[in-house]
Chain A
């Protein structure tokens, strides 16, 4: 079907204002937060009801038109990048909190509700929604489920997948499915687990029931300065090894430290090689005991200085720098490229050392600020896009870092997703059999491959071209099977 005819069909079934097709109107949708890549979609739709989404999907399905779901577009891996001959399906109008149920500690929300809005709605009941991506003021719960987003609180409270009870999903055929239940598990296969982190490839999320937790009575934070990255890394392992489970355990290197201090004036010890932030939350007595133990561990690992937040204002100040680290680094470089990979915690010092070497080799500075507690690194590569070739060099360095993450037993993405950004690194992490299995699974949900095509899982052909698909033992298993 051609664009004009398709547009006519859409306008027949949707209110006029829900269909955008002028290039001017489409411009705001051309990229997500990975703005290096832009594609203008054919059409953008902003439906308001589940029935309207269903109608759009049925139409796309019958006409073979691809669909890309979009939440707030804060994704950093190009997951919500439109496809040129497809529909961009915005869930922005699904922004209502349908119910907060304090007795059952859950909230039923539409997919376009902002992450932080859930905690705000739950606050009067002394409850909150735990996963807190740094983008929480803007990103949506639908996007969070699609990316299985994490945040500072993940070490103790888990990722999105651990905090979602039920998801209502529309398949590309327009079938409405309920996954999970209002209890703590659902019947049949755990497809709810599979939906979390599926990057919009399996269905369009139209409703989410999230778990709410009691707001901790107290939270207190330690800020520890170290003379070397190695000592800081060991201290992080020491805290976990001592049986403590902090609500947040974060680390910043000296480059990031200095940049943030210059930006927010949090009073950070800028002469330190690394700073560790360690937060405990819970009942007052529990926090007191755990903070005392954590302090002993940090000191015994050679912390030059350990500060303890005396009140809520000071605790917020400790975090202000961490939270502002990205924009702070943004001020000292023309551009920066934020990487996301996870490594086993005990390889921290070694990996940071290797990143330092790579940084010299590529001639680009790298700042490190990360979720140390769960080994999730976010190296920030500083570059200047106006210098020819620097963007490409930054991207190449990024791929080297991700390859390093896989080499030490980690992964190419801890929370930002694969999107279009990490298709090549996926070829490093997975072999042909696993990639084939991903595609078969995708086909079980979406046989025609119309939902968010070209994202998250590379084709074997692409990996072969990239030269990185791991063909075990030099042979492809099941050569008789079709390779998509």
Chain B
């Protein structure tokens, strides 16, 4: 893998943009534009800023530059028998480390191994003034100063250009198996709730007409857990979980808008009609529906969660419900604290613009 430190150039470009008052849109591999939107202004690519800066398997810590391909990071971890606990989606071969953290999306393992932001330990970044800042670090526990690095996860590059991100990584389980059950939605949800509270070594629970349970850990534990729950071995477990994470399963290519609902796992969202796919043991639900935007926003909010229009043919569509006015105002002040002149990824975070 190429390794090159392009920090100075990237920071210089932001300073320059700031001096000229010309906004920049940060671009990595372009794999998640459908999700983030593309922002306004001149493009600033992170693709020349690559390399794993530090990886210490016995510390469970990895630090990499933001333009590093996600695939290269995963390969390096696999060589040492480790993985990213949050199992991030790539959504294309070009996915970068910076884009992964900026989008903050996590895969099927998330409820049991934590999200992107849960894994983040520290970062180096360029703020909207072109200043290079370092927050957090490479140790597991650190409460010195405000936790700015975790705030960067999911901020879509609107608070700063990420240069390097350090994360906690996890050991790859010795053994993994997926069981599959034929059952209708209601029964599937009921079982997910039961298993979720049972202490089985779970690393995935999803329902798409059939119920899937992924167990991981030492051989003996996985077989014992499998014996306890019964069920059939899934035929192509990897295909299933990859297809779910990368949204290559048939469900995701159906017509109409694709929604993501983040809700309490046992929540009943009976009122909304459409086609459902359940992940995260019930906490993340994918919906294809013709229902109106406000109806979907309201249904998620009614159970204490929130909804986001994830993929839509209409790029201008409003993707998330408006935040409460006081919270929206706070978002704008937080954005201004990092990027007072609005230089970075202008227009990407509707909550804050």
Q: List chain A positions with a Cβ less than 8 A from chain B.
A: 101-106, 125-127, 147-148, 150, 154-155, 158-159, 161-162, 166, 171, 175-179, 181-191, 193-194, 196-198, 202, 214-217, 237-238, 240-241, 243-245, 282-286, 288-290, 293, 342-346, 371, 374-376, 409-418, 422, 426, 429-431, 433-434, 437-438, 440-445, 456-457, 477-478
Contact = CB atoms under 8 A, between A and B. Distances in A.
A148 B221 contact: no
A151 to B, nearest CB: 10
5 contacts: A181-B262, A243-B81, A289-B220, A345-B59, A413-B142
Contact of B264 (A182, A376, A412): A182
A444 B197 contact: no
Given A189-B154, A342-B141, A162 B334 contact: no
Interface stretch (B43-51, B67-75, B298-306): B298-306
A197 B146 contact: yes
B219 A289 contact: yes
B220 A344 contact: no
B131 A433 contact: yes
Contacts of B146: 194, 197-198, 202, 438, 441-442, 457
A200 to B, nearest CB: 12
Contacts of B218: 285-286, 289-290, 293
A177 B81 contact: no
Nearest to A441: B337
Contacts of A430: 144-145
Contact of A188 (B56, B117, B143, B331): B331
A412 B135 CA distance: 13
A441 B148 contact: yes
B159 interface: yes
B170 interface: yes
Given A193-B150, A282-B201, A342 B337 contact: no
B318 interface: no
Contacts of B219: 289
Given A194-B150, A375-B139, A414-B139, A286 B265 contact: no
A412 B267 contact: no
Contacts of A434: 133-135, 145
A189 B326 contact: no
Given A283-B224, A346-B56, A411 B132 contact: no
A418 B142 CA distance: 11
B137 to A, nearest CB: 6
Interface in B298-353: 303-306, 308, 320-321, 323-324, 326-327, 330-331, 333-334, 336-338, 349, 351-352
Given A181-B262, A346-B59, A441-B338, 20 more contacts: A101-B264, A102-B197, A158-B118, A161-B150, A178-B324, A185-B104, A188-B349, A189-B159, A191-B330, A191-B334, A194-B146, A196-B147, A217-B199, A245-B171, A409-B139, A411-B137, A415-B141, A437-B148, A441-B148, A477-B131
Given A177-B326, A245-B170, A437-B127, A193 B147 contact: yes
Interface stretch (B23-31, B107-115, B177-185, B247-255): B107-115
Contacts of A443: 337
B234 interface: no
Given A155-B140, A418-B144, A443-B337, A433 B220 contact: no
A104 to B, nearest CB: 4
B96 interface: no
B233 interface: no
Contacts of B349: 188-189
A185 B115 CA distance: 9
B112 to A, nearest CB: 10
B198 interface: yes
Contacts of A191: 151, 330-331, 334
B155 interface: yes
Given A191-B334, A243-B174, A441-B148, A289 B142 contact: no
A154 B141 contact: yes
B334 to A, nearest CB: 5
Contacts of B324: 177-178
B330 A345 contact: no
B129 interface: yes
A195 to B, nearest CB: 9
Contacts of B171: 240, 243-245
Contacts of B241: none
A252 B218 CA distance: 29
Contacts of B138: 344, 409
Given A282-B201, A346-B56, A184 B139 contact: no
Given A105-B265, A189-B151, A444 B330 contact: yes
A178 B145 contact: no
B144 to A, nearest CB: 5
Which of B137, B153, B170, B284 has the most chain A CB within a 10 Å cutoff? Answer: B137
B225 interface: yes
B59 A188 contact: no
Nearest to B152: A190
Which of A106, A185, A409 has the most chain B CB within a 10 Å cutoff? Answer: A185
B237 interface: no
B224 to A, nearest CB: 4
Given A183-B304, A188-B327, A193-B117, A125 B220 contact: no
Nearest to B194: A103
